[in-house]
Amino acid sequence: MNERPARSGLEPLARVEASVPTSRPQTLRTAVRINIRGRSVRLRGLRLPPTGIWRWLGILGPGLIASSAGNDAGGIATYSSTGAQYGYELIWVMLLITVSLSIVQEMCARLGAVTGRGLLDLIRERFGVGWAVFAVAVILIANGGLIVSEFVGIGAATELLGVSKLFTVPTAAALIFYLVVFGNYRRVEKIFLLMTLVFFAYPVAAFMAHPHWGEVARGAFVPKLHRDPNYIFLLVGLIGTTITPYMQLFQQSSVVERGADRARYGPERVDVYSGATFSNLMSIFIIIATAATLHAIGKNNIDTAADAARALEPVAGHFAGVIFAVGLVGASLLAAAVLPLATSYAVSEAFGFSKGVGLDFRRARLFFTLFTGLIIFGAAAALTPNLPVIKLLVWIQVLNGVLLPIFLVFILLLINDQRLTKELKNTRFYNVLGWATFAIITLAVAIMLLMQFLGLWGVKLFGS
């Protein structure tokens, strides 16, 4: 005879024995004891905040994703060149950039949480349609170019691993499309966060290359300046590639989409700071890996990130090269997903279209159409034979360079607008750091633009 208690409904209720269902939970959540009108009650239905590692993992999100997306194919190429040409000498710059990146990204996260609105949304309302349209036009061109370069990065890295780009680039595009269009924000965020794990490939590659840690420490804390144009170019390039307008756009819009508000802003700040620190630490490991291998044997010229991966193989072993390439695929994939999203957020905010990964295609048609269009464009262009990728990247850098100081001014003005940010407006300390960042970036961008334009006429700044 079946020993399991019979389901209710077969006998009159009065005769049914009360039974414990077999699926009853084994353990129950800890109850919260609260006191209501002098009576102590135990409630298991209230949510206790997560503790320990889960608390920290729960905090990570837009800050880590936005900063890590900056370590894309272009970024890896710049960091690799830095390591190959100047060894550990420019690591101190990365430490300074970490502070600047943290400040800029934090202000955007705070604006997003305090206002519940994206950056372009606020620019449109506070500074007018003219600035908004200008920003959108530049973003479309600059980010469009960057998306192409990310898919080029995916293609190049997977070919290093022996898989044809004709297969991997469309597959990557389809994967990103599926993830964003059919996912909700929470799921997309989790997958993006998982993607950042590939960046651990760089510390592994760096350790396998057996660097001289004393030299690394000296490079990090003892600034050494050179007057040669390559040095200046790389210095400016490091700033330009680490702090890019799309990172601010994505940061603010995704904080909004995540549902952060002024009451629950604290964790966002932790996310931003840890994200900026993590991503720049990974950049430093790229510099260390290439410095320990390529610079040490006098191989100074690297044109692309894929070259760096290939170049590591004979020096640091086959696996170091493979690991570097895996990191490059992951980094490019993350940036290839973040960039079209940031662009779609920006355009939708500027023109008042419905937006958000959490919405379906029917509710945010223009947002998803733009997102899809950018992915198709990026993947198709990346498969175009003889694409002048390096030239493309240079012009993208110019456009982003023009936009970045303008964005920084907007961000600083908005965050100091008492009507918008109320008690969360910038402190004096933050303003000093913010405006100092603006001054340094503007100077760096001005030098870069000058070098680019003078270069067109064959004139070289800072000597030959």
Partner 1 sequence: MLSKLRYFRLVDNGGRQYVLSDIAIALLESDYPAVTQFLYRNSEGEQMMLPWHTVKGIDWRHSRINVSSFDSAKSVTEESLRKEVLLGRDVIDALVLDLHNRRVTRANDLWLEEENGKLLLKAADTSSFAILRRLSHGLFGSGPSRAPYDWKYIEFLRGDPHAVGNGAGYHMRIKRLPPGEIAGLCRSLPYLHAAELLTLLPDALAAETLAAMMPDRQVQVFGEVEDEQAVRLLARMRANDAANLLRRLTVESAESFLKRLPKARSEKLIDLLRYPEATVGGIMSNDMVTLTLDQTIREALLRLRERLKQTDFTHFLYVVESEASRLLRGTTSLQDLIVADDERRLHEIMNIYVTTLDPLEPADAGAYRVLDSHLAAMPVIGREKQLLGIVTVDAAVMQVAPQSWTAQAPKIFS
Q: Which residues bind partner 1 (CB under 8 A)?
A: 7-14, 16, 18, 20-21, 23-25, 28-29, 32, 34-37, 41-49, 115-117, 121, 124-125, 128-130, 133, 184, 256, 259, 261, 263, 351-352, 354, 358-360, 363
Min separation Cβ 114 and partner 1, Å? 9
Residue identified by tokens 């372009």 is 120
Q: Which residues of 171-204 are buried (b: 16+ CB within 10 A; e: fewer)?
A: ebbebbbeebbeeebeebbebbbebbebbbbbbb
- The residue (of 110 and 117) whose beta carbon lies closer to partner 1 is 117
- The residue (of 223 and 259) whose beta carbon lies closer to partner 1 is 259
Q: Tell me the C-alpha to C-alpha distance, in Å, between residue 453 and each of 74, 231, 375, 386, 398.
A: 20, 18, 31, 24, 10
DSSP state of 42: E
Nearby residues of 318 by Cβ (< 8 Å), 6 or more positions away:
none
The vertex-404 CA angle with 399 and 408, nearest 5°, equals 160
- The answer to whether 248 and 400 have CB atoms below 8 angstroms apart is no
For the chain, how big is the Rg over CA atoms in Å? 25
Min separation Cβ 182 and partner 1, Å? 11
Min separation Cβ 280 and partner 1, Å? 31
- The residue (of 352 and 385) whose beta carbon lies closer to partner 1 is 352
Min separation Cβ 405 and partner 1, Å? 22
Min separation Cβ 115 and partner 1, Å? 6
Min separation Cβ 35 and partner 1, Å? 8
Helix (H) or strand (E) holding 35: strand 32-36
Min separation Cβ 193 and partner 1, Å? 18
- The residue (of 106 and 121) whose beta carbon lies closer to partner 1 is 121
Nearby residues of 356 by Cβ (< 8 Å), 6 or more positions away:
185, 257, 364, 367
- The residue (of 1 and 18) whose beta carbon lies closer to partner 1 is 18
- The residue (of 95 and 406) whose beta carbon lies closer to partner 1 is 406
- The residue (of 111 and 276) whose beta carbon lies closer to partner 1 is 111
Q: CA–CA separation, 277 vs 67, rounded Å?
A: 9
